[in-house]
């Protein structure tokens, strides 16, 4: 009985994948490359992470206290503040209006100590103080003098200053003073405007003496 050999079921191999004419260092070889040719660039597979992990970003530095001022700047700024406040006390004593000294002292501290801030600019010093005083008089007209009126006047003054773009936080105390003490309208506003102009003038003189820039803008 003669047996017939089974048919060859081996799949054909692609050129260069196995032994045969395509094997070896020829153009179709899968194991070698032609001399002088660059290797094929590796392509990134979608969804895989990059091989190089980026370095962690440096943590932001926490803000610290401001630098210590130069001795000359410190001396002249302090002397200017003392001189301006002494003048305000003298004027307030003559006109019998000492209530303005606390908020104006805070205004002078801003002008002399932080002349670059928006709160220290002439627009904010004069405009913020006058608008706050007017706000206090408006509350006084509606609700009368008292601590409740003072609380409302101080809060409203901050909103009015923000709306008018004249931020000056010490002026909120001016609105409180008006709502509590009910001073005469015209004499109080006139003294307040004069005091603010005096503060700005002292700020200008101190800036010239110390080599600083003031004001950054006027209006």
Contact 97, 187 (CB under 8 A): yes
Q: Predicted confidence band at 154 (pLDDT cuts at 50, 70, 90)?
A: very high
The residues, any chain, with a CB within 8 Å of residue 179's CB and separated by 6 or more, are: 136, 139, 140, 143, 145, 146, 149, 150, 152, 153, 154
Q: pLDDT tens-digit profile of 93-108?
A: 777 777 788 898 899 8
Q: What is the pTM of this model?
A: 0.67
Mean pLDDT of 186-198: 91
Which pLDDT score is estimated for 52? 52
Burial class (CB in 10 A: 0-12, 13-18, 19+), 44: exposed
């Amino acid at each position: 009985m003669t047996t017939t050999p089974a048919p060859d079921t081996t799949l054909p191999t692609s050129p260069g994948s196995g032994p045969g004419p395509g094997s070896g260092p020829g153009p179709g070889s899968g194991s070698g490359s032609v001399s002088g040719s660059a290797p094929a660039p590796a392509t990134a597979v979608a969804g895989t992470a990059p091989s190089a992990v980026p370095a962690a970003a440096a943590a932001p530095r926490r803000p610290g206290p401001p630098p210590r001022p130069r001795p000359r700047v410190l001396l002249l700024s302090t002397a200017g503040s003392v001189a301006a406040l002494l003048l305000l006390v003298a004027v307030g004593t003559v006109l019998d209006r000492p209530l303005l000294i606390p908020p104006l002292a805070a205004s002078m501290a801003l002008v002399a100590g932080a002349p670059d801030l928006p709160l220290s600019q002439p627009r904010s010093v004069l405009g913020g103080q006058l608008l706050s005083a007017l706000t206090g008089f408006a509350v006084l007209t509606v609700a009368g003098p008292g601590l409740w009126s003072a609380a409302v006047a101080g809060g409203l003054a901050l909103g009015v200053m923000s709306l008018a773009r004249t931020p000056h936080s010490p002026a909120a105390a001016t609105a409180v003073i008006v709502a509590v003490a009910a001073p005469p309208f015209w004499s109080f506003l006139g003294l307040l405007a004069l005091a603010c102009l005096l503060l700005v003038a002292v700020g200008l003189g101190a800036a010239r003496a110390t080599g600083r820039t003031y004001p950054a803008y006027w209006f």
